[in-house]
Structure 1
Amino acid sequence: MTNAVFHWPVSSLVQITDCHLLATPDALYQGIKPYHHLRLVLDELRAEAPLLILTGDLTEDHSADSYTLLQQLLADWPAPVFLLPGNHDERGALDQLSQQPPFRPERRLALPGWQLWLLDSKGDTPAGSFPVPRLAELECWLNEAGHQQIFWFCHHHLLPVGSFIDRFDQQDKAGLLAMLKREPRLRGLAHGHCHHAYQYDLPEFVQVGCPASSVQFLQTPDWQTQDQGPRACRWVFTPDGRLQWEFLQF
C-alpha cells in the first residue's frame, strides 16, 4: 500500500462493511444471498455516487471468485472506493484489487478540514491485531497531519459492545486507546465486524459500529443473526470540524 495521501473535495461518503460475499451470486450466508444484498445497496446509492469505504469481511469464503464478484459490482463505480481487510479477507487479493480503478491503494484521505485514516486491523485469528510498527506509523502520520481533524476507519472494535463478538475485538488495543485519549485531533473511529449499528459518545472520542450489508448480529452471549435487509452508514465531515453519521437501511 502507498503511503501517499489521497485528496478528495467532497465532505460526505458511505461506509459499507461485512458483505460476506461467496463464490457465486446466489450462494447463501446465514439465510440470505449477500451478493444481492450488496448489489441493492450499490443500486440505491449509484445516483448519489459517493466515495465508498468498505471496512472488511468483504468475502466469507476467501475465494478468488468472491473477489471477482466484488470487482464486477464496483467496476464502473463513479467515485473512489477504498478496501480494508477484515478477518475473513485475504490481504493479497485486496492489494491486487486496490490497483484497479475505481479502487484506491491509499490509507489516508484528505477531505476539507479532515484526514481519514484507514487502519489495517487484520490479525492471524478472527480477533484484531495492531502491532507496534503500525502504531509507530500512526505517530508519524500525526506529525504530518497539521491542524486537520482525524478520524479512523477499521474493521475491529476497541471498546466492548456487550455481546459474543467482544471475544474477537482488537486484542492489542492499549496503544490505540492511549493515542485517542491524548490527542485532541483524533475524534474517534468507525468499524465493522460487529454487524450492529450503535454509537458510543465518550468525552475523548466516539466509537461507531456500522451495520452490515449482509446480516446483523444480535446482542447475545452466543452467535445469532437476523436479516434486517442490507444496511450501511453515511458520513459527513464538515470543514468546520463537525462530524455526522446516519445508519442506512435499504
Structure 2
Amino acid sequence: MLIAHISDFHVFSDKPETPLVRLDAERVARRVVADLAAFAPRLDAIALTGDLTDAGSAQDYALLQDILAPLSMPVFVVPGNHDRRYALRAAFADRLPFSDSSYLNYETRIGGLKVLALDTLIEGRGDGALVPESLVWLAERLPAGGTEPALVLLHHPPFPSGIQSLDKAALTAGRSEIARLVREYRGPLTILAGHIHRPFQATWNGAHCAVAGSPAFQMALYLTPTPHEPSLVSEPYAYYVYRFEDGNVAVHTRYVYLDD
C-alpha cells in the first residue's frame, strides 16, 4: 500500500493572509497534485497535514477542492493553524468521518492500517494543542499494549526538529500526554505532521515520524540554537511516499520542481 504525505498548501482565493506565502501558491499546488495524480503505481491515499488554505474562507476551500479534483484516491486532511474548523468541515464532510464534537478528529481505515486524524488548531494562534477531549479520544484508539499498525496525522508536530524557533511554535499543549500514548503503544506506528515548512524525519518514543515540506514557502535548514526563524530557501519541493507492507514501512522521497 502506498500513501503520499504532503502539507501546507496555503492556497487562497483572493490574497494571502501570510506575507511569506508565494503569490502563485495555487499554481505550485496544482503542480504537486499533478505529480501525485501521475504517480505510478497508483497511490492508495494522500495525507495532507494542515494549513490547507491560508485564510480558511469557504472560497478558499472551494479552490482547494478544485485543485485536489484530479486525485481519485482518498485524501485525509487535518486542520492547521491557518484553517477554520467550520469551513473545513463543510468542505470535507461528504468524504471524511469527522467526530460529532467541535474538534475535527476522525478515525478511518485503509487496507490493514488504522488512520487517526487529530485536530490541533488553537483559533487565532500559530502554535497547536491537543485538548483533553482529543487526548481521551486518541487514548481509546491507541491503547497501551495495542499492536495494530496505525497512522497518526496532525498539523503541529509533537516531536522536535531541532530548529529552535519553529519547535517553540509547534505542539505546545498535550505533548507529554501524546508522548506517553506513543511510548506505551506496541504496534507499528507512524506519525505525520506539517507546520515546519521543511521536510524531515525522526524517531520519537519508538515511532517513525515525519514532517512534510510546503510548496507555498520553504524554510532553510538552520540548526544553530537561536530564537530567530530561518530564512526562506528555494529548493525543489519534496514529498514522501510511504510503502506499508506486513507491518513494515519504507519511505521514499519524491521531488517536484516548482519553477521552470
**Is TM-score (shorter-chain normalized) higher than 0.5?**
yes
Secondary structure of the residue aligned to 2:52 is coil
Q: TM-score, normalised by structure 2?
A: 0.81
Task: Name the CA shift for 1:43/1:123 in 2 (closer, same or farther; >3 Å).
Answer: same
Ranges of 4+ aligned residues in structure 1 off by more than 3 Å: 24-32
Task: Name the CA shift for 1:15/1:43 in 2 (closer, same or farther; >3 Å).
Answer: same
Task: Name the CA shift for 1:234/1:131 in 2 (closer, same or farther; >3 Å).
Answer: same
Cα drift, residue 29 of structure 1: 4.8
Contact 2:148-2:188 at 8 Å conserved across structures:
no
1:78 maps to amino acid = S
Equivalent residue runs for 1:96-135 within 5 Å: 96-100=90-94, 103-105=95-97, 107-124=106-123, 125-135=125-135
Q: Greater CA deviation, 106-115 or 150-159?
A: 106-115
Find the aligned partners of 1:26 and 1:160 in 2 and give their Cα distance: 28
Contact 2:16-2:55 at 8 Å conserved across structures:
no
Equivalent residue runs for 1:24-173 within 5 Å: 24=14, 29-31=20-22, 33-48=24-39, 49-50=42-43, 51-100=45-94, 103-105=95-97, 107-124=106-123, 125-142=125-142, 147-163=147-163, 164-172=165-173, 173=175
Cα drift, residue 83 of structure 1: 1.7
Find the aligned partners of 1:33 and 1:229 in 2 and give their Cα distance: 15
Find the aligned partners of 2:204 and 2:172 in 1 and give their Cα distance: 20
Find the aligned partners of 1:59 and 1:229 in 2 and give their Cα distance: 21
1:28-52 Cα deviation digits (max 9, x unpaired): 8544511111100111221345322
Find the aligned partners of 1:34 and 1:16 in 2 and give their Cα distance: 14
Q: TM-score, normalised by structure 1?
A: 0.84
Secondary structure of the residue aligned to 1:83 is strand
User: 1:176: which partner in 2?
Assistant: 178
Find the aligned partners of 1:38 and 1:90 in 2 and give their Cα distance: 19
User: 1:7: which partner in 2?
Assistant: none
1:130-157 Cα deviation digits (max 9, x unpaired): 01111111122235x9642112111011
Contact 1:180-1:186 at 8 Å conserved across structures:
no
User: 1:207: which partner in 2?
Assistant: 209
Alignment partner of 1:233 is 2:244: no
Find the aligned partners of 1:29 and 1:229 in 2 and give their Cα distance: 17
Cα drift, residue 203 of structure 1: 6.1
Cα drift, residue 186 of structure 1: 5.4
1:161-213 Cα deviation digits (max 9, x unpaired): 12221121111201000111111125241110011111113562222111113
Unaligned runs of 5+ in 2: 99-105, 223-227
Find the aligned partners of 2:109 and 2:28 in 1 and give their Cα distance: 30
Find the aligned partners of 2:219 and 2:146 in 1 and give their Cα distance: 39
Unaligned runs of 5+ in 1: 1-10
Contact 2:78-2:155 at 8 Å conserved across structures:
yes
1:170 maps to amino acid = L
Task: Name the CA shift for 1:78/1:235 in 2 (closer, same or farther; >3 Å).
Answer: same
Task: Name the CA shift for 1:146/1:167 in 2 (closer, same or farther; >3 Å).
Answer: closer
Find the aligned partners of 2:112 and 2:146 in 1 and give their Cα distance: 10
Identity %: 23
